[in-house]
Amino acid sequence: MFWEYSFYMFAVIFGTIVLNLLFKLKPIKKIKTVFLSILPVAVLFVLWDILAAYRGHWSFNMEHMLGLVIINQPLEEVVFFFAVPFYYITIWELAKKFCGG
């Protein structure tokens, strides 16, 4: 399916934003702090991904991507390293809110 990976990233980002706004969670209120906490790890993994793709350890099927590339990484792959941690931080905050954390 064309743009399949993009669709999944959109679903993760959209779902995360909806959960944050719907339940008035802290991550959306502290977006700069969340971004800065994710940034070092995301950069490390993006660099690792670049090296691994360059060395031929894996590749990306561009038929399922938007076609925008940063170095040798599809935009969706770079967004993945920010969107997924933000999603999990949101789930953590949601669990704390409803389970008394």
Q: Is pLDDT of 101 > 70? A: no
Say how many Å lie between the first and final Cα of the chain, rounded. Answer: 41
CB 85 within 8 A of CB 38: yes
CA dist., res. 64 & res. 6, Å (int): 8
CA dist., res. 8 & res. 10, Å (int): 5
pLDDT tens for 69-84 read: 999 999 999 999 999 9
Sign of CA dihedral 51, 89, 33, 16: positive
The pTM of the full predicted model, rounded to 2 decimals, is 0.86
